[in-house]
Amino acid sequence: MSSTRESLHGLWSSRWVFILAAAGSAVGLGNIWRFPYLTGENGGGAFVLIYLGFVLLIGIPLMVAETIIGRRGRRSPVNAILLIAEEESLSRHWSGLGLMGIIAGFLTLSFYSVVAGWSLAYVYFVLTSSFATANSISSEAIFTNLISSPLQLLFWHTLFMGSVIWIVSKGVSLGLERAVKILMPLLFVMLVLMTIYSLLVGDALGATKYLFATDFSSLTSDVILLAVGQAFFSLSLGMGALMIYGSYLPHDASIPRTCLIVGCVDTLVALLAGFLIFPIVFAYGLEAGQGPGLVFVTLTVAFADMPFGQVFGFTFFLLLTVAAWTSAISLLEPVVAWSVESKGWSRNSSSWLAGSVIWLIGILCLLSFNELKDFTPGGRNIFDWSEYISANVLLPLGGFLVAVFVGWRVSRMTIASEFGGNSSKLFSSWLFLLKYCAPIAVAIVFLNSSGLDLLFR
């Protein structure tokens, strides 16, 4: 039997809503913006393969572990861990893991909102005429113009963050559920349509080779760290998003089954995005390794060329913004739930307060493309640092600690009861991956890469 404790913030109306919400959290800019650009920067196939390996062997088992903590504790990450630690007579210091997640959420959302702002800006741009005649040169100019204007970036970042805060302030069932139910399926359909188009008109063969030809010569310990980081980032692991969503999961839902579905959907969307972007990159001679602008520059060219490009472009960027929005909601929710529980603040004030702090950090991130462009301590600007520390340090570290906590500290009986089902084979395979594979792999990758330099710098 799973715990019968009740959530203070409400429950999802069914297991399907959890799947949609968790998929909404997982599927976002990580899949459509970050995965293609990292793949392009790191030479394709080998990066993709390592990423897929990490998703399967570490990512999905950790998703299960985080959801178990959430549903067992039925509180925000900090308090859920605290409750479980008390029940299991473990140190209260484990709740530090939840606090670390809050910091990771702040940092992640601050740069995430800036990129989501780009997507929002593109919804608007696509309707203007310069966009309709874009070619590979002018599409780069459109992107460069956008990121070099602090005021434009501030406007879109503010609009995006404001809408995230607003929906989180409305609460679980009213705000979140309604949003994900309609929009996630729509995004998926749109993505499939676009990918088919891109494969038909673009260089499908070149893209397939690029995505799957495994040339391990480009593989360094840093690339492996990036692949781990991307697996964590894309599956929303290591900062409590799944714990909080798990805490709203009905008692009778099977955690392994739901997590497997969410993990597969997330991976499928990332691969679809790869097959959407790269055929166009190669067909139009665009630069695969151009970095964060990749998706925007590439798709602009494609939309300019395709029939009904404006309609498609408008819908696509709108849905990308929505995907980012449902992920952003899950980045803000843990800290808001925590301050409602622990500080006794209302949901409304908690959302606006936490959201405003994130908005302020986001301003520093957006300035790193223009006014603060030359401020690059240690070779990275503020935006790059936020992205790096969040995805490559805090999320993997959070995941490592979750694996140790659930795999080694919480009693087998407790986790088995939340894991549910009657296949002891499935349970023991999962536990093996969680106990040994996840912590050891993350530790090795971490120790071998500049993640370590970063900690001891």
Binding site for ligand PHE (CB under 6 A): 25-26, 28-31, 108, 233-234, 236, 239, 241, 327, 330-331
Rg (CA), the chain: 21
Nearer to ligand PHE, 116 or 211 (CB): 116
Nearer to ligand PHE, 50 or 329 (CB): 329
Quote the least distance from Cβ 204 to ligand PHE, whole Å: 25
Quote the least distance from Cβ 323 to ligand PHE, whole Å: 7
Quote the least distance from Cβ 386 to ligand PHE, whole Å: 13
Nearer to ligand PHE, 28 or 256 (CB): 28
State the Cα–Cα distance between residues 48 and 241, nearest whole angstrom.
Answer: 24
What DSSP letter does each residue of 135-163 carry, written as one string?
A: -HHHHHHHHHHHHT-HHHHHHHHHHHHHH
- Beta carbons within 8 Å of 65's beta carbon, 6+ residues apart: 402, 403, 406, 407, 434
Nearer to ligand PHE, 233 or 405 (CB): 233
Quote the least distance from Cβ 260 to ligand PHE, whole Å: 17
Quote the least distance from Cβ 23 to ligand PHE, whole Å: 10
Burial profile 4-37: b = 16 or more Cβ within 10 angstroms, e = fewer: eeebebebbeebebbbbbbbbbbbbbbbbbbbbb
What DSSP letter does each residue of 359-405 carry, written as one string?
A: HHHHHHHHHTTTTTTT--GGG--HHHHHHHIIIIIIHHHHHHHHHHI
Nearer to ligand PHE, 28 or 313 (CB): 28
Quote the least distance from Cβ 391 to ligand PHE, whole Å: 8
Amino acid letter, 109: L
Q: Is the Cβ–Cβ distance between 39 and 274 less than 8 Å?
A: yes
Nearer to ligand PHE, 113 or 350 (CB): 113
Quote the least distance from Cβ 32 to ligand PHE, whole Å: 8
Check residue 308 and report its DSSP letter. T
Nearer to ligand PHE, 25 or 351 (CB): 25
Quote the least distance from Cβ 265 to ligand PHE, whole Å: 12
Give phi and psi for 351, each to the nearest 5.
-60, -45
Task: Find, among 205, 208, 204, 198, the residue nearest to 302 by Cα.
Answer: 198
Nearer to ligand PHE, 283 or 403 (CB): 403
Q: Is the Cβ–Cβ distance between 46 and 213 less than 8 Å?
A: no
Closest residue to ligand PHE in the complex (CB): 30
